[in-house]
């Protein structure tokens, strides 16, 4: 892909790109809707990436072309302000906006973006685009920005410019991902460490099930879930708990009498999901695949019943894997409301599992899903030209 993108850039702009960066999408192995509450997560970068190529101009014009949708646009710094309705180019505008907000000067450029992360599939294509663009533009404009600052700036751009109140996890893993490892991250302290996934790689087929149900987070209930989580945390703090991570099962039971049912269910998911992340660390260390699969299953059930972010297509996927010989575990990954799930099946069982999933989706009259095996990849890269 690298050479073809360079060739396309040269053909479109009649010059070579000066920078070429890429950043990965991600799966979240466990720890869903816990990042924006300061909890624990265990994401991993995947071998699907967003690519950004650019070269400087001698005028203020900022020109952008998307290979994936074959569309182009031009704008200047005066045109960069938060949109009422998000368009494909607003993610790049958000990066230019956050650079200026933080005192990093920008100027005219020609840029090309491309990628093979399915959009709207819950694999964090937006964060990958933001990170690849932020790294690329900081290099183009000769700014040296630390990696953690890049992740935090990209998150703020999505929060305050695009309008999606995401946590830091997606941008963080897109920067810090390591090949064949997940990253355990405490989103409250930003303490993190790599977690080997060699057992999963050797003994299972890890795959993504893209339901085909696209979701626009800015127009979904995602921000509502975040609001409910904030309300629940405020309630807990009035009773002496500083974070969801502090809640014991006994304290959780006590809260059931004090909270309305919706807030209690949201709390129960977040508290139990934080505990599942810690369980997963132990299961991976012990190479206990049965426990790994069980944790995935319990996470999906909690997301379905307590956080209410699943959908019929992903619930079918979950049930098929539970009943499939060689199926170890499955759950939705990402924010939900459509998008994708991840599953583990015994090594060599993916072709048969794929056929079963396709048949069951067809019986239900669901959209034809996309199913693809993935590898765990590294984070942001700067490619030689």
Query: Annotated catalytic sites, by residue?
Result: 170
| 133-148: b (≥16 Cβ within 10 Å) or e | bbbbbbbbbeeebeee
Phi-psi region of 191 (alpha: psi -120 to 50; beta: other; left: phi over 0): beta
C-alpha to C-alpha distance for 250 and 232, rounded to whole angstroms: 17
C-alpha to C-alpha distance for 22 and 48, rounded to whole angstroms: 10
C-alpha to C-alpha distance for 92 and 95, rounded to whole angstroms: 5
C-alpha to C-alpha distance for 185 and 194, rounded to whole angstroms: 9
Eight-state DSSP code of residue 68: T
C-alpha to C-alpha distance for 357 and 324, rounded to whole angstroms: 10
Contact 45, 174 (CB under 8 A): yes
C-alpha to C-alpha distance for 9 and 89, rounded to whole angstroms: 17
Q: What angle do CA 184, 188, 189 make, to 5 degrees?
A: 75
CA distances from 128 to 125, 135, 158, 234 (A): 5, 11, 12, 32
Closest residue by Cα to residue 212 from 319, 364, 47: 364
Paired tokens of 72: 């182009």
C-alpha to C-alpha distance for 100 and 105, rounded to whole angstroms: 6
Eight-state DSSP code of residue 37: G
193 bridge partner residues? 184
Q: What angle do CA 149, 134, 173 make, to 5 degrees?
A: 60
Longest dimension (CA), the chain: 68
Phi, psi of 311 (to 5 degrees): -155, 165
């Amino acid at each position: 892909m690298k050479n073809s993108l360079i060739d396309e850039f040269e053909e479109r702009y009649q010059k070579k790109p000066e920078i070429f960066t890429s950043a990965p999408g991600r799966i979240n192995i466990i720890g869903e809707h816990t990042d924006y509450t300061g909890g624990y997560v265990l994401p991993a970068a995947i071998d699907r990436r967003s690519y950004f190529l650019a070269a400087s101009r001698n005028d203020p014009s900022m020109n952008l072309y998307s290979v994936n949708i074959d569309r182009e646009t031009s704008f200047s710094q005066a045109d960069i302000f938060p949109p009422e309705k998000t368009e494909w180019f607003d993610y790049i505008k958000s990066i230019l906006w956050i650079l200026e907000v933080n005192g990093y000067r920008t100027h005219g450029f020609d840029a090309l973006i491309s990628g093979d992360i399915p959009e709207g599939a819950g694999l964090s294509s937006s964060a990958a685009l933001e990170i690849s663009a932020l790294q690329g533009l900081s290099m183009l404009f000769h700014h040296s920005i630390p990696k953690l600052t890049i992740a935090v700036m990209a998150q703020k751009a999505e929060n305050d410019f695009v309008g999606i109140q995401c946590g830091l996890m997606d941008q963080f893993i897109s920067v810090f991902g390591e090949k064949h490892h997940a990253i355990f991250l405490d989103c409250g302290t930003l303490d993190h460490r790599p977690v080997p996934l060699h057992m999963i790689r050797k003994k299972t087929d890890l795959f993504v099930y893209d339901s085909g149900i696209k979701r626009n987070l800015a127009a979904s209930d995602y921000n509502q879930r975040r609001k409910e989580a904030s309300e629940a945390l405020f309630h807990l703090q009035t009773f002496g708990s500083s974070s969801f991570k502090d809640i014991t099962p006994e304290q959780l039971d006590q809260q059931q009498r004090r909270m309305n049912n919706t807030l209690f269910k949201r709390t129960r998911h977040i508290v139990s999901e934080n505990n599942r992340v810690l369980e997963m660390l132990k299961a991976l260390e012990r190479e206990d695949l049965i426990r790994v699969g069980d944790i995935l299953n319990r996470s999906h059930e909690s997301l379905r019943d307590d956080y209410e972010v699943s959908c019929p297509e992903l619930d079918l996927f979950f049930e098929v894997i539970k009943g499939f010989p060689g199926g170890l575990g499955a759950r939705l990954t990402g924010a939900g409301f459509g998008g994708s799930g991840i599953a583990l099946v015994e090594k060599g069982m993916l072709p048969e599992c794929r056929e079963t999933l396709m048949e069951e989706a067809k019986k239900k009259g669901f959209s034809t899903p996309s199913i693809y095996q993935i590898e765990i990849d590294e984070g942001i890269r700067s490619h030689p030209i």
